[in-house]
Amino acid sequence: MAVLVRNDSRIILHLVTLPDLTAVTLTYHIQDYDCFYASVFEVEQPELRSLPLAVQQKQIVVTCNYEARRRGLHKLQLIKDAKRICPDVVIVLGEDLTKFRNASKELYLLVRSFVWGDHVEKLGFDELFLDVTEMIDYNTAVLNQNDLENSYFHLDRKDPTVGFSYDATRFQGSTFPAMEAASVAQKDPSSLEMRLLVASHLQSHIRSKLEHQIGFTATGGISTSKLLAKLVGNVHKPNGQTTLLPPYMATKNRTSSVFQFLDDHEIRKIPGIGSQISQKLKSYVTGQENTDEKITVKDVRQFPGMGPPLLDRVLGGPGSTKGIGMRMWSILHGVDNSEVLEGRDVPTQISIEDSYGQLDTLEGVRRELVVLSRSLVRRIRTDLLDMSDDTAPQGKWRAHPRTLRLSTRPRLPPDVRTGRAYSSKRISRSAPLPPFVFNLDENIDALAERLVRENIFSMFRKLHPEKAGWNLSLLNVAVTNMVETAGDQKQNSGRDIGKMFRQQETVLKDWTVQEPGFSSSLPGDTGVTLEIQPQSDDGWDDDEPLGNIDCPICGASIPHFAQLAHQIYHSEK
């Protein structure tokens, strides 16, 4: 959990959750959901904590717990090798993400219930950012300077009995730099150090609630930005928390804690610095192309002549992000002004996909589309149905997606030099989502079969009119363009969503809806698009702001924000 307390009076928490970690390694990095998967099984079956546990997807170990790792197992290992190395390993199937998604949602809702203003940003399944500035400002203002050891944190401004007692003379958890005694002398309540101290107690309280109410422990970081809170949370894990202490700017008598903390980090470990940017920086600083040598933040920041203009020259070029030099210079100094987004109950899209070693028959495609559609309909009901309304026993729709999208990724012929045949380019087709998907009287299996039979399979045949000769490495079905259902609030329009969808289906049945983003029309096949879809399957926006995509027409590396403009450039040539 990342608690953020900014220099501009904002406080952010960063949170990564796992159950009792006697057998699981906890990580803050969003890509390491693997540990979270193993943890969910351990919470569900506590006896697994003492056993070597591996989670299987396809024929691969996608994660394993601490006990399994102690016996020589590791993620991305073949199942047959795992069984050979550790014959008594317990293998559980993790291809159905439902239980992980449900656990993630439960954790998110519990954490959000503590934070004023719902400023809780969900990142993947097991990572949260909390902006608790308003809560900290309120509680530091009511501190009794004459009795800080017996302070009380108010969780509710209207009810003074809701809260917890704490000692406001010392930090809860660890600090960076480490303090022999993590305490502070009596200070101005508005000082950054005091505000960070109070935030450390709030984070500890939330972590305790997660453990005792749901059975998950959490690791956290506390600082003034998402970047710093995320990184400092890695210092003491698992099941710990760390606060980055002031000063955040160098003074006459003290060095900057931010520089002291960041300087030893390998450049690739910094959020916002991807592999391409990291490689360019390493090549420039070392003078060697494609080097494996590791360089640190300090190596880059203190390189002769380094600054925004030089970074613009090193990292700039066709398709580069405007102002990338200043952005990277800010990151190298620990400056991150990105906001913690306000939590939302409705995702912007719901997407289900799977990858395949070989998928080259129509019957195989139809079978896999039914499997994916079944998961999609289940997700639609789970994520978009509000079951809290007693007047609607089957539930009430929070939102209706308007668009159905099918994406495939054809496998390219192997490269004669490398033998590899990987392609990241997907082709997609979109159409209005049929209203029958929202029929709660029809079971999920029947809806999935009907959706494939009446809609998705015909979309596939338009994408791939050939009966044979293609081989797919990926299928994705998704619903997008969410319209929140009319409610009692003044801002709601009160329109009949069901009627709107029936009208939409009639008017737009012969049209293909193009999704926003990079697309390049294929000659002779109107409505087919080449586009890169998010790889995340959780349905929430996890876009990498600095990520680039290679244009399939000219090969230029294009950032996400410039994809549409680049498409127009080609269309006007």
- DSSP assignments along 386-448, one per residue: E---TT-TT-EESEEEEEEEEEEEEPPPPPTTT-------EEEEEEEPPGGGG-TTS-HHHHH
191-205, 435-449, 515-529, range with the lowest pLDDT: 515-529
Q: What pLDDT is stored for residue 162 in this prediction?
A: 96
Q: What is the pLDDT of residues 110-142, one digit of tens each?
A: 999 999 988 899 887 888 999 999 999 999 999
What integer pLDDT is reported at residue 418 of this predicted model?
Answer: 53
Look at 364 and 27; give whichever has higher pLDDT: 364
> Tokens at residue 473, please?
């490495």
pLDDT tens-digit profile of 51-78? 999 999 888 898 888 889 999 998 889 9
In terms of pLDDT, which residue wins out, 561 or 200? 200
Q: What is the pLDDT of residue 436?
A: 95
pLDDT number for residue 113: 92
Chain segment 289-329, per-residue pLDDT in tens? 878 888 999 999 999 999 999 999 999 887 778 889 999 99
Q: Is 491 exposed, middle or buried (0-12, 13-18, 19+ CB in 10 A)?
A: exposed
pLDDT for position 477: 96
For a pLDDT cut of 70, what percent of the chain falls above it?
A: 76
Calpha distance 111→507 (Å, rounded)? 43
The region of weakest confidence among 100-109, 286-295, 549-558 is 549-558
pTM value is 0.72
**pLDDT tens digits, one per residue of 421-452:** 555 688 999 999 999 999 999 999 999 999 99
Structure confidence at residue 494 as a pLDDT band (50, 70, 90): very low
Percent of the chain past pLDDT 90, that is, above it, reads 49
Query: For all residues of the chain together, what is the average pLDDT?
Result: 79
Q: Give the residue-averaged pLDDT of 381-391.
A: 81
Q: Please give the DSSP secondary-structure letter assigned to residue 118.
A: G
For residue 536, what pLDDT band results from cuts at 50, 70 and 90? very low
Confidence of residue 513 (pLDDT cuts 50, 70, 90): very low
Range of lowest pLDDT (80-84, 357-361, 559-563): 559-563
CA nearest 284: which of 317, 262, 258?
317
Checking if the pLDDT of 278 tops 70, the result is yes
Which pLDDT score is estimated for 414?
A: 63
Indicate if the pLDDT at residue 385 is higher than 60.
yes
DSSP 148: G
Distances (CA, A) of 152 to 57, 171, 195, 208: 47, 15, 14, 17
Check if the beta carbon of residue 210 is closer than 8 Å to that of residue 237: no
- Cβ neighbors of 59 (< 8 A, separation 6 or more) are 78, 79, 80
CA distance 60 to 82: 9
* Rounded Cα–Cα distance for residues 295 and 313 (Å): 19
Say which residue, 484 or 263, is predicted with more confidence. 263
Confidence tier at 12 by pLDDT (50, 70, 90): confident
- Residue 122 DSSP SS3: strand
Give the integer Cα–Cα distance in Å for 222 and 304. 33
Judged by average pLDDT, the poorest of 7-16, 399-408, 483-492 is 483-492
Domain 99-262 and domain 349-484 have a common topology? no
DSSP designation for 183: B
Domain ranges of the chain: 35-94, 99-262, 264-333, 349-484
Instruction: Evaluate whether the domain defined by 99-262 bears CATH number 1.20.1090.10.
Output: no
On the question of pLDDT at 509 being above 50, the answer is no
Is the pLDDT assigned to residue 350 strictly greater than 60? Answer: yes
pLDDT exceeds 70 at position 550: no
Is there a contact between 531 and 517 (Cβ–Cβ < 8 Å)?
A: yes
d(CA 307, CA 327): 11
Per CATH, domain 349-484 is 1.20.120.550: no
Confidence label for 227 from pLDDT (cuts 50, 70 and 90): very high
CATH of 35-94, one of 3.40.50.2300, 2.60.120.920, 3.90.1150.10, 3.40.1170.60: 3.40.1170.60
> How far apart (Å, rounded) are the C-alpha atoms in residues 344 and 105?
12
Are the C-beta atoms of 117 and 11 separated by less than 8 Å?
no
Q: Does the pLDDT at position 524 exceed 60?
A: no
Flag whether pLDDT at 475 surpasses 80. yes
E strands along 106-225, which residues?
120-123, 127-131, 151-154, 163-166, 174-176, 216-223
* Confidence tier at 181 by pLDDT (50, 70, 90): low
Lowest mean pLDDT among 33-37, 102-106, 168-172, 383-387: 33-37
CA distance 551 to 63: 34
Q: Which two tokens stand for residue 462?
A: 């338009």
Q: Under CATH, which number does the domain 264-333 receive? A: 1.10.150
Look at residues 124, 127, 122, 100 and name the one whose alpha carbon lies nearest to residue 233: 127
Cα separation, 27 vs 236, in Å, equals 10
User: In the predicted model, is pLDDT for residue 283 greater than 90?
Assistant: yes
Residue 503, helix vs strand vs coil: helix
pLDDT of residue 68: 92
Condensed to tens digits (0 to 9), the pLDDT of residues 322-344 reads 889 999 999 999 999 898 988 77
The pLDDT of residue 469 is: 84
3-state secondary structure of 265: coil
For the cut 60, the answer to whether the pLDDT of residue 417 exceeds it is no
